[in-house]
Every structure is written in structure tokens, then in C-alpha cells.
Amino acid sequence: MSLMDDARLNGFSFEESPPDELREMRAKLMVLQAMVERHDRLIDQQGEVLERLTNFMSEHHPTLREIMDAVAEYYSVTRDEIESHKHIQYFSHPRLVVYYLARKLTRLSLTNIADRIGGRDHTTIRTGFFKISHQIRHNEVLRDDIDVLRARIAEKVMERELATTKGGTLLPAPVRQ
């Protein structure tokens, strides 16, 4: 459809050809539409990857050590600092993330998680889990951090599983449309 036809359909009329600014705006709009379509495709691809990871993680649960290692690496702290009883936010935030991920990704009870992370009370784990659960709903950066950590934990689990299956494949091939 020509620019003139498009303008007429939208209630504009020109005695002469449309102004250069309108041509420029239409060109920019077409570029923007292409960018949005590309962005939508990327979101769909990321959704497929996350779905595959979720399916994998539901069948192959991570160990608490794998979770702690991934969180420690991500936040540049040590496992000992996560297990410590220090209330410094630099250590306590990664600790709360470990509580959250341990509860979400393992089959361990709150008591078992508490015993393995510095001998804490199970209510500490529950409180930390709920605190991170609440923050995730309102904090996009934390939500992204959790997604990255889930992917890193999945990598650790895949490495472990591949080592025990002697090189077999763990994830099904992606479905092509």
C-alpha cells in the first residue's frame, strides 16, 4: 500500500505528495515494527529454553551444594560466608536466595535445609523463603537474578548427570516449527 493510500485510510488527505517528515516517520515506524517482531521472537525462544530447563529440573533435582555453589559464584561470596550467622547484607541476601532456591528446587524439608546451612532453625528458612518470594513479585532485578541462577544450577546438574550417564544426552532436541 502506498503512503498516500495509507494516509487516506487514516483520515488524512494531501493535495500534493505527503511531506518528507511523514515519509521519515513511516520509515522509522517500519524499523520499530521490525524490532518489536524480533523482540517477540527472542522472548518466545527464551520461553522455550526456560520451559525445557524447568522440565529438566523437575526430573533432575539439584543438590544443596550445587545451589550454594551457584549462588556463591554469582554473588562473589564463599559457601562459608553463606553458612555463617553474620547479618551483613552482603552475606545475608545470597543466604536468603539459597533458602528460596533450595525450597523451590530440592525435595529437602525446611528442617533438612536448615540443618545443612549452618544449623539454623527451620523457621529461619521459611521466613527467608517468604521474604524472597515477596521481593520477586516486586523486584524485576531479583527476578532476573533468580532466572540466571536457575540456569547456572541447571548447568551444574547437567554436568553431574552427564558425568554419570557417560556422555548421553539429557535434554530433548528442540521442536522446530
The listed range with the strongest mean pLDDT (30-39, 65-74, 78-87) is 65-74
CA distances for 161 relative to 45, 66, 107, 138, angstroms:
25, 12, 17, 35
Domain that holds residue 34: 1-59
Q: Is residue 151 part of a domain?
A: yes
Q: What is the pLDDT of residue 158?
A: 85
Q: What is the pLDDT of residue 40?
A: 81
- Between 28 and 122, whose confidence is greater? 122
pLDDT confidence band for 36 (50 / 70 / 90): confident
Same domain, yes or no: 38 and 123: no
Same domain, yes or no: 33 and 67: no
Q: Is residue 130 part of a domain?
A: yes
Please give the Cα distance from 72 to 64 (Å, whole number).
Answer: 12
Q: Is residue 173 part of a domain?
A: no
Q: pTM here? A: 0.64
Residue 174 pLDDT > 60: no
Same domain, yes or no: 129 and 70: yes
Please give the Cα distance from 152 to 70 (Å, whole number).
Answer: 6
Q: What is the pLDDT of residue 52?
A: 74
Tell me how many domains the chain contains.
2
Same domain, yes or no: 36 and 76: no
In tens, the pLDDT along 115-141 reads: 998 888 999 999 999 999 999 999 999
Residue 12 pLDDT > 60: yes
Q: What is the pLDDT of residue 91?
A: 85
CATH of residue 121: 1.10.1750.10
